[in-house]
A and B are shown apart, each in its own frame.
Chain A
């Protein structure tokens, strides 16, 4: 440190909530992309699953729609859920343990921006995950979605994803950094299986078909499948309501953990 009575040079920017949000979002996106496990889980695995299970069935049909397109949508849903659980659940549990949150807490930054930035990052990466899978599907797998249809499905998914962001928050604020990855993987895999994301419900064992209507992931994926034409769209309100109910439940759990966490430190 060879300083320095030299005057310190200041920037002339003013801080603004938007500026902070952009900087925080950028940070969150960089963090996600430098985590190889995350890239594999959100970009590589959905493509791999689609290549193994989707492409060979691309000439079949499920519930009156093309099986390839149906499974493409399943794996889009799978990818989005991974984004939420990894970028919220595991990373919050981890940062909570590190005291990084305390550093952010004493900074003059409204705490809500931290969550908004994580959401922005999750939406951006989620969109990328869906786009890359769709691109792979059409270029390699010969399964393409109508552009309007794809946009509709993506929009619904990005909105409905909030429920899984809340699930991530609930995991992140209630579990330790060592427990979070294990538990979230378990919850997430069980939920994917029992919701028909890996094996379409049409061909799944009866007990899975019995469980599915209670799973948030089922209602999530159904929003996509029915947009494809598997069911009348008029029924979609039921799925939104289920997701809304789970959203409230997960937020309540997250809030409980958050309060307990705050209480420990003040």
Chain B
């Protein structure tokens, strides 16, 4: 168990190195650089090339690609994530400033979608073929196939413009600081983000539960004289949860970086909207850092999933 954990954590290092290099390379191959974004096209056209070079040199953009990557990597290893090319603010500050907003949003969505997804999926499987099951199946199909931003826009149309219940976006109003003040802002983005996730988890847990219900051990459980709730929930649900939990866990890192669109729709000041801005302005230190963190989260979560499945399923051996 311990050797397994150590081995898995050690493997993370070369994988992170390789992936960060790939991302850096991708950015390098993208046309344009931060300087071309910072200076207006009119001035850019008339500027002295020597002057442009000076700006590039000041930002450290004139070094060859590999040297820049090495410098960046050296900084990261020392805990120095660099500075935003536009504002000069340390990236550490930007991340710590933005991350809580994203975590607030995605944690809410994960919790809501896990509870409702598994609940509706299991009920749907138990009442297979009923009106409720068909309605949930239809809703699930819609939830999976309609893009999130459409849900977002529809929600704004309904709750902000027609019903006037909720604010259109943002996270805070000036002068208000407490969580209760933030809550009205949080509701819509969280629910819209959850909607798609609930749909996916529901479809999956329904299928998994149906599969479990057809297994022989359910008949054995009944043959012991157990009541139906125990047969379904202690025996059926417990077995059906294993793949569902894995699916949910794989969504965790996606939510760190994957709330991009929702954050855009609701002007949510999270990592996602920062990421979009940074990509547009070729602000590569920020793009690198966010991509690097997301990569790390994905790799780390997949390791956690392995530990967790071993815990859930006695048949899984980690060695």
Pairing of A with B = no
A→B interface (CB under 8 Å): none
B→A interface (CB under 8 Å): none
